[in-house]
Amino acid sequence: MNKEDFFISCFNSKKIGDDAAIVDGWVVSKDAFFENVHFKRRWFELDEIAYKAMIINISDSIAMNAEPKYALLAVAIPASLSRHDIKKLYSGFYRAAKEFGIEIIGGDTISNVKIDITVTVMAKSTKPLKRVGLKAGHFLAYTGKLGSSKKSLRSLLRADTARKGSRFFAPVLRQSFIQKAGGSLSCGMDISDGLFADLSKLSRANALGFSFFRDIASDVGCSGEEYEMLVGFAPRARKKIIRLAQAGRCDLNIFAKAQRKKYKSKCKAHHF
């Protein structure tokens, strides 16, 4: 157990364990996006920093089949930022919020030596999609193409440059697909720590392992911050799920079946 998992295990709440917590009809999530931990200033424009900070948190709502409604921001602002710079940060937050129909209703600002951001998103769902619900014999699939985020990070660490179109800079969320397919899915979560690492979370939640239909390269399976969807569904729902993905022009990769066996991620932990 890494230190992140150990810390989470210290809290005794049944609401912990999904991409977001379900509280009195609200689906609530919080994520941090800190300079020199999640990004370096020279990699991003200021509006890109704010946009990604919002998107990675909105992803948790989408993963839970919830419609984001409100957001609260906590932003640490270095004294070196001008009013023009702060306006650029605002424009990134605003662009992401407008894209998903979110109202930013408050938060906090402090002075700091670097840009640190935390975002809380409040969403609504009539049928939340959780990690628990997978059964033996169910199929596992992920949306889109994985691997570009890790490739971009390597390039940035090596040469401070990478293709701006990669998922590392601007993740693409699968809201339409999840809204239409959510009722037919047995479980789901977004791929934030990497496909293999997030499969470990599904494995623990459902006490199941997986039989893979094909080998998946580590550069694909260990690529974090993709924010594609990892979903499970019963065999009887397979044709419907494929049809919905095709109708929404969403690539769907069915790669494994859940079985009563052990599973262990092949990837090095991202945290601590």
C-alpha closest to that of 76 among 25, 119, 115? 115
Domain assignment present for residue 147? The answer is: yes
For the chain, the average pLDDT equals 93
Last residue of a domain, one of 74, 94, 124: 124
pLDDT score, position 268: 79
Residues 6+ apart with CB under 8 A from 197: 222, 224, 265, 267, 269, 270
Mean pLDDT of 87-106: 97
Cβ atoms of 19 and 190 closer than 8 Å: yes
From residue 83, how far is each of 2, 14, 95, 172, 176 by CA, in Å?
A: 41, 43, 18, 30, 36
pTM above 0.75, yes or no: yes
Clarify whether residues 174 and 87 are in a common domain.
no
Clarify whether residues 252 and 170 are in a common domain.
yes
pLDDT score, position 3: 77
Clarify whether residues 77 and 148 are in a common domain.
no
Clarify whether residues 72 and 170 are in a common domain.
no
Structural domain span for residue 42: 19-124
Clarify whether residues 191 and 244 are in a common domain.
yes
Clarify whether residues 160 and 90 are in a common domain.
no
Residue 218 has pLDDT above 50, yes or no: yes
Q: Hey, how many other C-beta atoms are within 10 angstroms of the C-beta on 223?
A: 28
CATH label of the domain that carries residue 82: 3.30.1330.10
Clarify whether residues 113 and 37 are in a common domain.
yes
pLDDT score, position 13: 75
Q: Which residue has the tokens 């023009």?
A: 84
CATH label of the domain that carries residue 165: 3.90.650.10
Domain assignment present for residue 8? The answer is: no
Strands (E), 79-186: 103-112, 116-124, 139-143
The span from the CA of 153 to the CA of 39, in Å, is 9
Residue 143 has pLDDT above 70, yes or no: yes
Clarify whether residues 81 and 176 are in a common domain.
no
Measured N-to-C along each axis, helices 83-99 and 46-63 cross at an angle, to the nearest 10 degrees, of 30
Q: How many domains does the chain have?
A: 2
pLDDT digits (tens, 9 = 90+) for 17-68: 789 999 999 999 999 999 999 999 999 999 999 999 999 999 999 999 999 9
pLDDT score, position 272: 47
Domain assignment present for residue 24? The answer is: yes
The span from the CA of 168 to the CA of 223, in Å, is 10
Domain assignment present for residue 3? The answer is: no
Last residue of a domain, one of 101, 124, 147: 124
Strands (E), the chain: 21-23, 26-34, 67-78, 103-112, 116-124, 139-143, 187-190, 209-212, 229-233, 252-259
pLDDT score, position 139: 98
Last residue of a domain, one of 63, 93, 124: 124
Clarify whether residues 183 and 255 are in a common domain.
yes
Residues 6+ apart with CB under 8 A from 266: 196, 218, 221, 222
pLDDT score, position 267: 87
Clarify whether residues 155 and 243 are in a common domain.
yes
Clarify whether residues 87 and 166 are in a common domain.
no
Clarify whether residues 191 and 102 are in a common domain.
no
